[in-house]
């Protein structure tokens, strides 16, 4: 998907809508912002960059792990056919769902739970995006990636040393991992 298509989708989504009252004045700043429950909404340039790496098509079905505010979810919903999003904190999941419904998105499926297990009933996914960092790539997510699909996922043992990794699966099912750049995400919390 070309750069300008992702940029247009990002412009169509107002970040203010996804932030707590006290943070709205900062919506235009390109930095992560707190959304409560010790979680953060990623900075817009990183959201756009990760979205580009997914190489979405209009027909794509996308899995997102870490709904958070729902800001990234909205951008995915602008670009793809269907978005399946998983969040482990019920209050954040509910707030995002109410918000995204109010904004009119009808192509998003919501789940509360551990995203490291993926969403087997809806798999395979042409694209998977993870917005919290595990120490190693959850095998279930690789399994649920479609042949020809892409996953972007931050990986790292500590918050100061994480790498955004792009995982691709070719048509024969061969999996390749490529580091993209350094990032800072909240940890992916698994049971």
| Cβ–Cβ under 8 Å, residues 44 and 15 | yes
Q: What is the pattern of x (binds ligand SAH, CB under 6 A) and - over residues 8-37?
A: ---------------------------x--
Whose tokens are 């899995």? That residue is 63
Q: Could you give the CA distance from residue 78 to residue 11 in angstroms, rounded to a whole number? A: 11
Nearest distance in Å: CB 81, ligand SAH: 20
Q: Considering beta carbons, is residue 86 or 167 the nearer one to ligand SAH?
A: 86
Q: Considering beta carbons, is residue 89 or 127 the nearer one to ligand SAH?
A: 89
**How many contiguous H segments (helices) and E segments (strands) does the chain have?**
5, 9
CA atoms within 13 A on the CB side of 150: 15
Nearest distance in Å: CB 127, ligand SAH: 14
| Cβ–Cβ under 8 Å, residues 76 and 56 | yes
Site residues for ligand SAH, 78-107, by CB under 6 A, read 86-89, 92
CA-atom Rg of the chain in angstroms = 15
Q: Which residues bind ligand SAH (CB under 6 A)?
A: 35, 39-42, 65-66, 68-69, 71-72, 86-89, 92, 114-116, 131-132, 186, 188-190
Kindly list the catalytic residues. Answer: 42
């Amino acid at each position: 998907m070309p750069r300008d298509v992702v940029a247009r989708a990002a412009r169509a989504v107002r970040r203010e809508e996804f932030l707590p009252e006290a943070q709205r004045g900062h919506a235009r700043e390109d930095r992560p912002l707190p959304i409560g429950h010790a979680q953060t909404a990623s900075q817009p340039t990183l959201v756009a960059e990760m979205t580009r790496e997914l190489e979405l098509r209009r027909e794509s079905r996308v899995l997102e792990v870490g709904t958070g505010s729902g800001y990234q979810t909205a951008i995915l919903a602008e670009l793809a056919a269907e978005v399946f999003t998983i969040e482990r904190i019920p209050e954040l999941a509910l707030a995002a769902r109410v918000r995204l419904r109010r904004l009119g998105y009808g192509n998003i499926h919501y789940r509360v739970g551990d995203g490291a297990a993926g969403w087997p009933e809806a798999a395979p996914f042409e694209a998977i995006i993870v917005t919290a960092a595990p120490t190693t790539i959850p095998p279930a997510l690789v399994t649920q990636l479609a042949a020809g699909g892409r996953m972007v996922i931050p990986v790292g043992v500590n918050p100061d040393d994480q790498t955004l990794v792009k995982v691709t699966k070719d048509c024969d099912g061969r999996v390749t991992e490529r580091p993209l750049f350094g990032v800072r995400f909240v940890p992916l919390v698994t049971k």
